[in-house]
Amino acid sequence: MPDPLLSVERLTTIFDAGSRSVVAANEVSFHIQRGETLGLVGESGSGKSVTAFSIIRLVQLPGRIAGGRVMFQGRDLVSLPEDEIRKVRGAGIGFIFQEPMAALNPVMRVGHHIAEALRVHGLAGGAEARARAIDLLRAVRIVDAERRVDDYPHQLSGGMRQRVMIAIALACRPPLVIADEPTTALDVTVQAQILDLLRDMKQEFGISLLLITHDLGVIAETADRVAIMYAGRIVEQGPVREIFRHPAHPYTRGLLESIPGGAAGSRLKAIDGAVPNLASLPPGCSFGPRCARHMPQCDRAFPDVTHVGIDHTVRCFLHSVTHRGGTAAAASEGGPRPAGPGA
C-alpha cells in the first residue's frame, strides 16, 4: 500500500484541570490514503473534535498534545514550528466546522473570507482573489455567485453558510479536508444537500476527507473506511462495507442497531447507558459497564488492538488473541472470523 496522506499515530491529548486530568484523545491511531474518505464516528463527548483540532494543532488550553505523531506529507505536525503549522492550516489541510456562523466573521463579506484565505497563503490578491472567490462560490453551487460574494454571513441561510465554509476550506486546494460534523447544525433536507456537495467536491477537487459525525447513516453513504471512537479511544476501524457487515465491537453493533433500517436489519434500539465521564473512567474497558457481552477480564485492562479482517481492527477481549480458541469467543455468535491474509 502507498504511504498514507495522513497517518495519526498514538495521538494523545490531555486536558489538565487542577489535580485532575482528562485524556480526551487516548493513543488515537488511524490513516487516510489519497482520495479516501475516513469517517470518524462516536457519541457526543467521545473526543472526535479534540482529535481533529489536535491534528492541526488548534487545541486550546488547558488542552495539550501529550504524545504521538501526526505524519502529513512526510512531516510530523506535532513537532512542526508554529509558522510552519500555520502554512499547513488552509493550504495543506482545510477545515469545515459544525457551526459556520461561529467560524465566519460577521462584519466580513463572503468574498473577503475566501480572498483572505488566498492572500494569507500568498496565492492571490486584489481583483484576482475576488474572481477566484466567485469561481469557488460557483463551485459549491451557490446561485448568483457574483452577487452573493458581497453578502455578509447573516444574509445567508445555514446551508449557504456551510457552502461558503466549504469554499473557504477548498480555496487553497488542500489535499486533505477535515469536516467536523458539517451537517449537524442544519435542517435534515439541507444536510443531504451538503453531504452531496461534499461528495462532489471530493471528486472535483481530488481531496481526501476526514469526516467526523455521530451518525453512522452518513458514513454508509459517504465514507470508504470508518473509525469508531469511544471515550477517547478508537475501538474499531476498517472498510465501511466490512464493518457494516461484520461489526466486531459490541459498541459498533449497538450503533448499527440504533440506525433505523440499519445494516443489522433490526428494530430501532439505542444503546443503554451513557458515555462515561472522561474524568472518572471505569478500570479496564471503558465500554464495559454498558456492554451486553461483558466478561470479568474487561474490568482489568483495556484490550489491545486485534486484527479481525483485512484492514479491520478491534479492541475487545471477545476477539483478543489470548481469547482465541477459548470459550467466550468460540461460543459467541459473530465471534472472530479467521483473520484475512493482510492481517
Quote the CA–CA distance of 206 and 21 in Å, as a whole number: 40
Query: Dihedral angle at the C-alpha atoms of 121, 124, 125, 129, nearest 10 degrees?
Result: -120
Q: Treating both helix axes as pointing N-terminal to C-terminal, what angle do 158-170 and 188-205 enclose, rounded to 10 degrees? A: 20
Give 160 or 223: the residue with its C-beta nearer to ligand ADP.
223
* Partner in contact with 313, chosen from Mg ion, ligand ADP, none, beta carbon below 5 to 8 Å by kind: none
Q: Are 263 and 240 in contact (CB under 8 A)?
A: no
CB of 56 to ligand ADP, least distance (A): 14
Residue 106 DSSP class: T
Residue 15 contact among ligand ADP, Mg ion, none, beta carbon within 5 to 8 Å by kind = ligand ADP
The answer to whether 54 contacts Mg ion (rule: CB under 5 A) is no
CA distance 283 to 186: 38
Q: Which is nearer to Mg ion, 47 or 159 (CB)?
A: 47
The alpha carbon torsion through 201, 205, 209, 211 (nearest 10 deg) reads -20
Give the shortest CB-309-to-Mg ion separation in angstroms. 29
37 binds Mg ion (CB under 5 A): no
Q: Which of ligand ADP, Mg ion, none interacts with 93 (beta carbon under 5 to 8 A by kind)?
A: none
SS3 51: helix
Which residue from 49, 51, 208, 306 is in contact with Mg ion, where contact means CB under 5 A?
Answer: 49
Partner whose binding site includes residue 50, from Mg ion, ligand ADP, none (CB under 5 to 8 Å by kind): ligand ADP
- Grid coordinates representing 226 are 470508518
Residue 173 region, left (φ>0) first, then alpha (ψ -120 to 50), else beta? left
Q: Does residue 183 bind Mg ion (CB under 5 A)?
A: no
Task: Examine residue 46 and tell whether it contacts Mg ion (CB under 5 A).
Answer: no
Q: Are 166 and 82 in contact (CB under 8 A)?
A: no
Shortest spacing between CB 93 and ligand ADP, in angstroms = 17
Grid coordinates in use for 143? 446561485
* Contacting range for Mg ion; rule: CB under 5 A; set: 42-50, 87-95, 151-159, 252-260: 42-50
What is the Cα–Cα distance from 285 to 282, expressed in whole angstroms? 7
Q: Tell me how far, at minimum, the Cβ of 210 lies from ligand ADP, in Å.
A: 13
CB-nearer residue toward Mg ion: 49 or 313: 49
Residue with cell string 458514513? 219
Stretch that binds Mg ion, among 10-18, 47-55, 64-72, 163-171 (CB under 5 A): 47-55
312 binds, among Mg ion, ligand ADP, none (CB under 5 to 8 A by kind): none
| Cβ at position 119, least distance to ligand ADP in Å | 30
Closest CA to 148 of 135, 137, 163, 159: 137
Among the listed residues 198, 187, 180, the one whose alpha carbon sits nearest the alpha carbon of residue 97: 180
Tell me the residue type at 71.
M
Look at residue 45 and give the partner it binds from ligand ADP, Mg ion, none, a contact being a CB closer than 5 to 8 Å depending on partner kind. ligand ADP
**Residues in contact with ligand ADP by the rule CB under 6 A:** 15, 22, 24, 42, 44-50, 60, 62-63, 278
**Single-letter residue type at 195:** L
Name which of 145 and 216 has its Cβ closer to ligand ADP: 216
The CB-of-233 to Mg ion minimum distance in angstroms stands at: 16
Q: Give Cα separations from 183 to 258, 263, 311 (angstroms).
A: 19, 22, 28
68 binds, among ligand ADP, Mg ion, none (CB under 5 to 8 A by kind): none
Least Å from the CB of residue 136 to ligand ADP: 27
| Residues that bind Mg ion in the complex, under the rule CB under 5 A | 48-49
